[in-house]
Structure 1
Amino acid sequence: MKVAAAPGYNPGRVNERKILQGTGYTLMYLGLILVALVQIFPLVWLLIFSLKNNQEIFNMAPFSIPAHPHWENYVNVWTNGNIAQYFVNSVLITAIALALTVLLASFVTYAVTRMRWKGRSFVLGLFMVGLMIPVHSTLIPLFSLFLKLHLTDSPISIILSYVAFNLPTTIMILLGFYYALPKEVEEAAIIDGCSVNTMFFRIILPMTSSVLATTAIINMIYNWNEFIFVNTFISSDKYKTLTVGVQNFIGQYTTDWGAIGATLMISILPILIVFLLLSDRIVEGIAAGSVKG
Structure 2
Amino acid sequence: MMSETAGQLQGGMKGSGGGMAGKLGYVLLYTVLIAVAVLQLFPLVWLLFFSLKNNQEVFNLPPLSLPMNPHWENYGKVWSAGNIDVYFINSVWITVAATALTVVLGSLVTFAVTRMKWKGSSIVLGLFMVAMMIPVHSTLIPLFSLFNNAGLIDHPLSLILTYVAFNMPITIMILLGFYYALPREVEEAAIIDGCSVNRMFFRIVFPMTSSVLATTAIINMIYNWNEFIFVNTFISSDAYKTLTVGVQNFIGQYTTDWGAIGATLMISILPILITFLFLSDRIVEGIAAGSVKG
TM value normalised by structure 2: 0.96
Relative to structure 2, which stretch is displaced further, 102-111 or 184-193? 184-193
- The alpha carbon displacement at 1:9 in A equals 7.1
Which amino acid in the other structure matches residue 34 of structure 2?
I
- The alpha carbon displacement at 1:8 in A equals 9.4
Instruction: Map Cα deviations across residues 183-230 of structure 1 (whole Å, 9 max, x no partner).
Output: 111111112221111111111111100000000000000000000000
Instruction: Map Cα deviations across residues 129-177 of structure 1 (whole Å, 9 max, x no partner).
Output: 1100001110000000000000000000000000000000100000011
Is 1:57 matched with 2:81? Answer: no
- The alpha carbon displacement at 1:262 in A equals 0.1
- The alpha carbon displacement at 1:292 in A equals 4.5
- The alpha carbon displacement at 1:182 in A equals 0.9
**Residue 120 (structure 2) aligns with:** 119
Give ranges in structure 1 of 5+ residues lacking alignment: none
Answer yes or no: is the 8 Å Cα contact 1:94–1:224 preserved in 2. Answer: yes
Instruction: Map Cα deviations across residues 88-107 of structure 1 (whole Å, 9 max, x no partner).
Output: 00001000000100000000
Q: 2:52 & 2:227 partners in 1: Cα distance?
A: 25
**Residue 253 (structure 1) aligns with:** 254
Answer yes or no: is the 8 Å Cα contact 1:176–1:292 preserved in 2. Answer: yes
**Residue 232 (structure 1) aligns with:** 233
Q: 1:5 & 1:132 partners in 2: Cα distance?
A: 65
Number of residues paired by the alignment?
A: 290
Which amino acid in the other structure matches residue 272 of structure 1?
L
**Residue 22 (structure 1) aligns with:** 23
Aligned pairs for 1:103-114 (under 5 A) are 103-114=104-115
**Residue 285 (structure 1) aligns with:** 286
**Residue 219 (structure 1) aligns with:** 220
**Residue 152 (structure 1) aligns with:** 153
Which amino acid in the other structure matches residue 211 of structure 1?
V
Aligned pairs for 1:192-211 (under 5 A) are 192-211=193-212
Answer yes or no: is the 8 Å Cα contact 1:105–1:171 preserved in 2. Answer: yes
Q: 1:140 & 1:171 partners in 2: Cα distance?
A: 26
Relative to structure 2, which stretch is displaced further, 35-44 or 281-290? 281-290
Q: 2:78 & 2:270 partners in 1: Cα distance?
A: 15
Segments of 4+ moved more than 6 angstroms: 4-9
Which amino acid in the other structure matches residue 169 of structure 1?
I
**Residue 174 (structure 1) aligns with:** 175
Q: 1:265 & 1:252 partners in 2: Cα distance?
A: 23
Q: Percent identity?
A: 75
Which amino acid in the other structure matches residue 20 of structure 2?
I
Aligned residues: CA RMSD: 1.5
Q: 1:8 & 1:40 partners in 2: Cα distance?
A: 48
Q: 1:235 & 1:194 partners in 2: Cα distance?
A: 48
Which amino acid in the other structure matches residue 287 of structure 1?
A
**Residue 271 (structure 1) aligns with:** 272
Which amino acid in the other structure matches residue 186 of structure 2?
V
Q: 2:150 & 2:10 partners in 1: Cα distance?
A: 80
Instruction: Map Cα deviations across residues 248-277 of structure 1 (whole Å, 9 max, x no partner).
Output: 000000000000000000000000000000
**Residue 33 (structure 1) aligns with:** 34
Q: 2:60 & 2:52 partners in 1: Cα distance?
A: 14
- The alpha carbon displacement at 1:291 in A equals 3.7
- The alpha carbon displacement at 1:6 in A equals 9.2
Give ranges in structure 2 of 5+ residues lacking alignment: none
Answer yes or no: is the 8 Å Cα contact 1:109–1:171 preserved in 2. Answer: yes
